[in-house]
Structure 1
């Protein structure tokens, strides 16, 4: 690496969710992922064009004056789990609001209202799911179970006192790590594609205290039935506030560094945990999607319910409905609610949960929104949208905009794609009546948002134009 190719940059602006901008000694705009407003960092340019230079973040030179919060974890500058450990919560909220406001400006979208952020009821110990990775902190070092080190893909940080989860997560992580250290088990090496241990997924239902563990390994024959039983017995002996009710073994030989369930085996207990939210109960299976922060999710769903103005006469369509959480929330008062979701396991779980909650005025279809939308009729009182991070595809958006409804509620875990989609709604004659940010992920860069998009009152708009035409302005 040539020394002259390294740039020292002061971060002067941030774009949602994790893009930093600054200027080099020649006044050229440098853009890269990572960093916090006000930090001085080293970056390496990777691509140049007329407008800016794209670069790769290397390391931190100087902290930002914003980083004055002292109650952090042990590894705030190394762990890649969350970026805002050193920010006071009020500062974090301010940064997030500013980045979302800039998204609107960048997309030439005007909104007459004030963009507010709804803070999380819990800033620590809020997550209900963690995915840990087996590896080592340095090459040839002892086994570590934890999270990837920031900007170091092959290095793993042991998260001893992680404060975005409750202590049961930390105790389980440490117990599993020490168990396999004692057994001298090896982890899966991405370069040689050899080794046993890959991931540990921990899920905890905060309201019921039920805990599920997913141990992910390769198909290495050394982890036989006897060793599986020994592992289960050892882990069940852990003293916790909650209770382990489900342990799975997942076999994954895929090259990808992700939890891919090529084979699933229930080693102990039942196949799910139960969580409670907004007076409803939900079965959560190993790969069910469920909001990671139920405390903020409750506020978000209640806001969506209120914005929809649900009453007993209304028919609701919920697109990208997942396990049917919000479909069921709407169905508690609506005349009927229909959900469409492409993932079969999620749809199966949605039916299970609706039966568990004794909700009968509900229907779920499994398939692509682009295709299934034609099977459910074209007229609804309100349509709920909660697409994946990639947002709504152009073809799907075109069909969605043909639905006869005056009101869309658009929930998003990725405001960037949401705002891009909103431009399509505005062109189709809708306006943003309400927009709010929900801090679903304290200490991280991400947020959840909700937008109310209503059909413009065409008759009223025409009348206003006529009145203006009739005025004598001379």
Structure 2
């Protein structure tokens, strides 16, 4: 069946793909559309017809799922939370289906707090025909959705910081030097930063105004943009307050540089930390190697003999070495000899989305570790890596909802030496 642009057809959703898009088939024609749930029927308008795949947008839902719920978000064009239209139990069902399909066995997904959970955001900032826009990128686009309402997944203070930043940038940055807005923090205080194409007194004044705005802002900085859409902060220049944000977990309190990685959902992180503590605590004399460690939070247990390996030196900026903890700034593939010969009986890894490189995987496989704890934000690459390990077998896999309302899944695999 050949579909035409702007043609309206009625579909019934078969399933969601791993991007959260609804998939329907009409007479061998595949239709992809956002904003629908499995089993729902809708009239959709074809916006981009194709030979094998047609992209559409919802015109009218003709049969809603009983598991649909009114959206809690008023920034309707945002699209960052693909599952916000689903009841939370159904979100967990969808995620459990995805991760179970990847690993070939039933994997439950631990729930989280559904709202106000994020401790960090980086937003693009644009001026279009003189109009200031702060928000997220539209799906599959570099257009910015201009948030005019509070976001339900970030703390109230972050929403207030966004509103105040908008107010001050309108006055102080008419030329549009600000490219991104960075916010990180919690009830302990928030750090706000502007990533700019160039810095001047007006940018500095904006940050000073923010720090004096009555919101719990304990640190401000600016950073010169790399000229790309990268969310990495380079060489921050601090204007007011401290040079870090304070984040508190069940393992401890952390001073976190704006250049450092830290999990964005403390509630879910604490569940993961509890599981890791249980595994390490069951070992008589644990000696732990923590790879891609960030600040070292996953292995931060009092008195634990551990070595943390992290490429980003900013991650260890406020770490305190002691007789039990060693912090090594290095690229993980460059320390394979340490992995093999270090005498570790437990290895933890929390690599980036692309997974673990072949050289490091081989070193882990040939190490002395009895237990390999593998945390991943991308279960598909995690599954690929696990299949390349010859000397370990999976003891258990647990799913965690690190980003409620989105399609993202965090996966913790516990492997034991055969």
What is the TM-score normalised by the length of structure 1? 0.79
Match of 1:424 in 2: 388
* TM superposition shift of 1:304: 1.7
Q: Does 1:396 align with 2:360?
A: yes
Q: After superposition, where does 1:83-122 map in structure 2 within 5 Å?
A: 83-105=82-104, 111=105, 114-120=106-112, 122=113
The range that moved more, 372-381 or 408-417, is: 372-381
Aligned to 1:197: 178
- Find the residue that maps to 1:149 and give its secondary structure: coil
Corresponding residue SS for 2:366: coil
Determine whether 1:385 maps to 2:357.
Answer: no
1:234 paired with 2:234, answer no
- What residue in structure 1 maps to residue 336 of structure 2? 373
Q: Is the 8 A contact 2:4 2:49 kept in 1?
A: no
Distance 1:279 1:216, change over 3 A: same
Q: How far apart in 2 are the matches of 1:182 and 1:378?
A: 57
What is the alpha-carbon distance in structure 2 between the residues aligned to residue 268 and residue 93 of structure 1?
41
Deviation, 1:365, is 2.0
Report the CA distance between 1:156 and its aligned residue: 2.3
- Consecutive unaligned residues in structure 2, runs of 5 or more: none
Give the equivalent residue in structure 2 for 1:130. Answer: 121
- The 8 Å contact of residues 308 and 326 in structure 2, kept in 1 or not, is answered as yes
Contact 1:277 1:294 in 2 (8 A): yes
Structure-1 separation of matches of 2:364 and 2:6: 48
Q: For residue 147 of structure 1, give the secondary structure of its aligned residue in structure 2.
A: coil
Contact 2:211 2:240 in 1 (8 A): no
User: 1: CA distance between counterparts of 2:20 and 2:293?
Assistant: 27
Change (3 A) 1:23 1:43: farther
Q: Secondary structure at the match of 2:137?
A: strand
Q: In structure 1, how many angstroms separate the alpha carbons of the residues matched to 2:251 and 2:330?
A: 28
Q: Deviations along 1:100-138, whole A, 9 cap, x unmatched?
A: 111124xxxxx4xx4222111x211111011122125xx
- Alpha-carbon RMSD: 2.7
Contact in 2 for aligned 1:312/1:333 (Cα 8 Å): no
1:265 to 237, 240, 246: 237
CA distance in 2, matches of 1:389, 1:166: 26
Q: What's 2:200 paired with?
A: 224
| 1:377-414 deviations in Å (ceiling 9; x for gaps) | 25322111211110112222122111122211111111
Alignment check: 8 A CA contact 1:308 1:407 kept = no
Q: Select 2:320's aligned residue among 331, 354, 378.
A: 354
**Residue 149 (structure 1) aligned to one of 123, 127, 138:** 138
* Inter-partner Cα distance in structure 2 for 1:318 and 1:6: 53
Q: Counterparts in 2 of 1:314-325, with a 5 A limit?
A: 314-325=286-297
**1:431 Cα shift?**
2.2
8 Å contact from structure 1 (residues 252, 260) kept in 2 = no
Who is 2:378 aligned against?
A: 414
- Answer yes or no: is the 8 Å Cα contact 1:215–1:248 preserved in 2: yes
Q: Deviations over 1:309-342 (max 9, x none)?
A: 444512111111112111223xx253x1112222
What is the distance in 2 between the residues matched to 1:369 and 1:259? Answer: 22
Aligned to 2:404: 442
Secondary structure of 1:87's aligned partner: coil
Q: Which moved more, 1:2-11 or 1:165-174?
A: 2-11
Equivalent position SS for 2:320: helix
- TM-score (norm: length of structure 2): 0.88
2:75–2:149 CA contact under 8 A, matched in 1: no
Map of 1:185 onto structure 2: 174
* Residue 274 of structure 1: aligned partner: 246
The structure whose Rg is larger is 1
Deviation for aligned residue 1:424: 1.7
CA drift of 1:150 comes to 3.5
